[in-house]
Each structure stands twice: as structure tokens, then as C-alpha cells.
């Protein structure tokens, strides 16, 4: 593939993510509120988020291995983005928590199918030591979509905020939520169409290697094994972001639905601004310190929300720094430590290890909240992440 087509692939995959995230982030910050309005509890939220996110991540290693097996990336990426469109249709039809569950499951199933092949396509479109920049650019475009989508949702909720507060019932929001979900289908569908313009980067040759054997995992690069271990410990405390948004609506903080959207918007703006510089810097000084620093910021964020929730606004700024410093850089690290024949598999493995911890993390988060109050959820998450940061600092 020539240089022009490689740049085209990076930009088009970024544009697809931008459009898809406009759609997804129109919905994501209202999921907890939508569920609450339909009669769901924090424990149900924990189950939905745990199952949905774990499904996405666990699928990624199998999708990645399948992409390596068939030597193709593009068909799986397109199929995955299509499942996310179906998930949004189910959200629109929801009249109880079961449809919210089905919608989240379909959306995250699609993410599980598409992520590893798409990230392998990005990695294989990079020239030289620029993996961090490429993934940083992709995360920037992705988070730009999140900012746009969140702003659209805020516009609708702000317009009805006064009437909603006077009604005193969360069910008042449901018609507006459904309108937002219906509109979100437009950028989601366009994102799928745009992805057809990419150029396949796979070899096109079917592999006969045992891509998922235990021995093949034992032979991984030492640094990659350390990073995967730290990632697993981190995920045990990495409960869904929905708990942060739900915490803001508790009586002691009392954020309205529109204010919760602004809080989420702040996080995404910081994420957008930080992602590309963090990726560029990781190309210059190495991935270790960027990743460890990001994990420490996550730990501080959760401790702040746990001990002093009144500082949730500065905590969300720190949280934006954390995700901007880690998401793209982690993918760049895994990509550069993976052999080309197994790149999609190992990118998927990293995401699957995240998934192994996501279900218990969200389930534990919901149970801790219900049993001991919201602070317990955040103090547990902060502690697990602090241990993970130490492992990166001492051993990576």
C-alpha cells in the first residue's frame, strides 16, 4: 500500500469513529438517567454495564484472531459498526430495563467485533516510529465526536431543564431521551457507509497458526506480559463511567440531567485535547511513563470522588487526562510489541483482559454502592488502580 492510501486509512477510520462517537455519546451520558426513569436501580445498572462491556472486550481477542486467520480487517470492522446501529434502535424501543440491556449488549457486541481489526488496520497503515501519533490522532477524532454528541444532548436537555425540575419526576425526560436516540441513528449510519472507503491492509492469506494457544501467550514479549498483568488488576476496580454520572445526581450534589451532560462534556474536551500530544510524547520518551502517569491520575480521580465528591468537577478534568494519556498509548504499545502475523489477535487480547475485569468491576461497584454507599465504589477503584500504576513503574 502506498503512503497516500495509508494516510487515507488513518483519516477514514478516524472519521468513522468521529461519526460513531457523535451517535454513541448522544446516548451514553443519558443511559443511567434513562434507566432510572424506566425504573432501573444502581445494581441493575451494574449488571447491564458489566455484561455489555465484558462482552465487548472478551469478543475482541476472538475477532482479532479471526481477522488474523482470514488475513482481512475491513469486513469485520464494517460488521461491528453495523451492530452498534442496531443497538440504538433497541434503545429507542425501550420501555423497561430489558431493552436497555439488549441495546447495550448489541452496541458493545459490535464494538467487540470491530475494534481489534480496525486497530490492526490503523497500525498497519503507520510508517516508521509513529504508532503513538497515529493512535493519538484516532483517539482525538473519536473524542471530538464525543464532544459534539454530548453538546447535542445538552442542547435538548437544557431546553426542557426547567420544566423537568418542576415536574419532579425522572420519567418526564423519557420522550426527550427517545428523540435524542432517534437522531443519533443518522451519524451512526453514515459512519458505517464511510468505512467502505478504506483500503484493506490484511495480507489476504489464511493463517494456519494456533493464534490462541497457551504456549503462544507464554512466548509473548516480557514487557507485553507485564503490561497485560497491570491492565488486568486495573480493570478489577474500573467500574463503568455511568457510576460517576450517577454520583453527580445524588441529593448531596444534586446535578440536573443537563448539568451531568456538561460534566461529561468537560471530561471529553480534556480527553480530546490530551490524546494526540500524549501519543506524540510516547513516541519520543517511551510508553511507560505516560501509561503509569495516566493510571495514577485515574487513582487520584476516584479517591477525590470517594472522599470529597464536592470536587467532582476537577476530578473529571483529571479523568480526562487519564484516558487521553492511556487509550491510544496502550494500543500503540501492544501494536509495537506484537508480531505482524498476530497483531490483531494481541490487540484483541489486551482488550479481552480489560473485559475479564469489567464485569466483576461494574458488578462489585453496584453492590458496594447499594451496601455501603457511593464512596465505597470509588475508593475500591482508586486502590486497585494505584497498585497497577506501581507495577508499571517498577517492572515495565
Q: How many domains does the chain have?
A: 1
Q: What is the pLDDT of residue 241?
A: 81
**Within-domain flag for 364:** yes
Per-residue pLDDT of 315-369, as tens digits, reads 999 999 999 999 889 988 888 888 777 788 888 888 787 777 767 887 888 888 8
**Within-domain flag for 59:** yes
**Within-domain flag for 202:** no
Which CATH number covers residue 92? 1.20.1250.20
**Within-domain flag for 211:** no
Buried b (16+ CB within 10 A) or exposed e, 179-192: ebbebbbebbbbbb
Q: Given a cut of 90, is residue 291 above it in pLDDT? A: yes
Question: Residues, the chain, total?
Answer: 396
Q: What is the pLDDT of residue 153?
A: 86
Q: What is the pLDDT of residue 196?
A: 93
The strand ranges marked E within 2-158 are none
**Within-domain flag for 203:** no
**Within-domain flag for 295:** yes
Q: Given a cut of 90, is residue 160 above it in pLDDT? A: no
Q: What is the pLDDT of residue 35?
A: 83
pTM for this entry: 0.75
**Within-domain flag for 210:** no
Report the distance separating Cα 55 and Cα 239, nearest Å.
Answer: 15
Q: What is the pLDDT of residue 200?
A: 87
User: Average per-residue pLDDT in the chain?
Assistant: 85
Read off the pLDDT band of 188 (50, 70, 90): very high
| Cβ(14)–Cβ(276) below 8 Å | no
Considering only residues 251 and 76, tell me which one the structure prediction assigns the higher pLDDT. Answer: 76
**What would the mean pLDDT of 302-314 be, rounded to a whole number?**
92
Read off the pLDDT band of 193 (50, 70, 90): very high
Q: What is the pLDDT of residue 235?
A: 85
Burial class (CB in 10 A: 0-12, 13-18, 19+), 338: buried
Q: What is the pLDDT of residue 222?
A: 83
Q: What is the pLDDT of residue 182?
A: 92
By percentage, how much of the chain surpasses pLDDT 70? 93
**Within-domain flag for 284:** yes
Cα–Cα separations (whole angstroms), residue 187 to 15, 76, 142, 184, 192: 11, 19, 13, 6, 9
Supply the range of the domain harboring residue 41: 3-195+217-395
| Cβ(361)–Cβ(50) below 8 Å | yes
Amino acid at each position: 500500500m502506498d503512503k497516500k492510501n495509508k494516510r487515507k486509512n488513518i483519516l477514514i477510520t478516524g472519521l468513522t469513529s468521529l461519526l460513531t462517537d457523535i451517535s454513541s455519546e448522544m446516548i451514553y451520558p443519558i443511559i443511567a438517567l434513562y434507566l432510572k426513569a424506566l425504573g432501573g436501580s444502581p445494581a441493575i445498572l451494574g449488571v447491564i454495564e458489566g455484561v455489555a462491556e465484558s462482552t465487548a472486550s472478551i469478543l475482541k481477542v476472538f475477532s482479532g484472531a479471526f481477522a488474523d486467520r482470514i488475513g482481512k480487517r475491513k469486513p469485520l470492522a464494517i460488521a461491528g459498526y453495523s451492530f452498534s446501529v442496531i443497538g440504538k434502535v433497541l434503545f429507542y424501543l425501550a420501555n423497561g430495563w430489558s431493552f436497555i440491556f439488549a441495546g447495550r449488549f448489541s452496541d458493545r457486541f459490535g464494538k467487540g467485533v470491530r475494534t481489534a481489526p480496525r486497530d490492526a488496520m490503523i497500525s498497519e497503515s503507520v510508517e516508521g516510529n509513529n504508532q503513538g501519533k497515529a493512535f493519538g490522532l484516532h483517539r482525538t477524532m473519536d473524542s471530538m465526536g464525543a464532544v459534539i454528541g454530548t453538546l447535542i444532548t445538552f442542547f435538548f436537555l437544557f431546553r426542557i431543564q426547567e420544566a423537568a425540575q418542576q415536574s419532579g419526576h425522572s420519567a418526564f425526560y423519557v420522550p426527550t431521551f427517545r428523540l435524542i436516540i432517534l437522531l443519533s441513528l443518522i451519524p451512526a449510519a453514515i459512519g458505517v457507509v464511510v468505512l467502505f472507503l478504506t483500503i484493506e491492509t490484511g495480507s489476504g492469506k489464511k493463517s494456519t497458526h494456533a493464534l490462541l494457544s497457551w504456549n503462544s501467550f507464554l512466548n509473548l514479549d516480557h514487557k507485553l506480559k507485564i503490561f497485560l498483568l497491570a491492565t488486568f488488576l486495573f480493570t478489577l476496580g474500573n467500574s463503568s463511567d455511568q457510576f460517576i454520572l450517577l454520583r453527580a445526581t445524588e441529593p448531596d450534589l444534586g446535578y440536573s440531567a443537563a448539568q451531568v451532560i456538561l460534566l461529561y462534556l468537560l471530561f471529553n474536551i480534556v480527553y480530546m485535547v490530551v490524546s494526540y500530544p500524549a501519543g506524540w510524547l510516547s513516541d519520543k520518551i517511551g510508553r511507560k511513563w505516560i501509561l503509569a502517569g495516566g493510571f495514577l491520575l485515574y487513582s487520584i480521580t476516584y479517591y477525590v470522588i470517594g472522599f470529597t465528591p464536592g470536587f467532582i468537577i476537577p476530578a473529571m478534568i483529571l479523568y480526562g487526562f487519564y484516558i487521553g494519556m492511556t487509550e491510544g498509548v496502550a494500543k500503540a504499545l501492544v501494536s509495537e510489541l506484537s508480531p505482524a502475523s498476530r497483531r490483531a489477535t494481541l490487540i484483541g487480547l489486551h482488550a479481552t483482559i480489560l473485559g475479564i475485569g469489567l464485569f466483576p468491576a461494574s458488578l462489585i461497584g453496584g453492590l458496594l454502592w447499594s451496601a455501603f454507599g457511593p464512596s465505597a465504589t470509588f475508593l475500591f477503584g482508586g486502590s486497585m488502580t494505584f497498585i497497577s500504576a506501581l507495577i508499571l513503574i517498577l517492572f515495565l
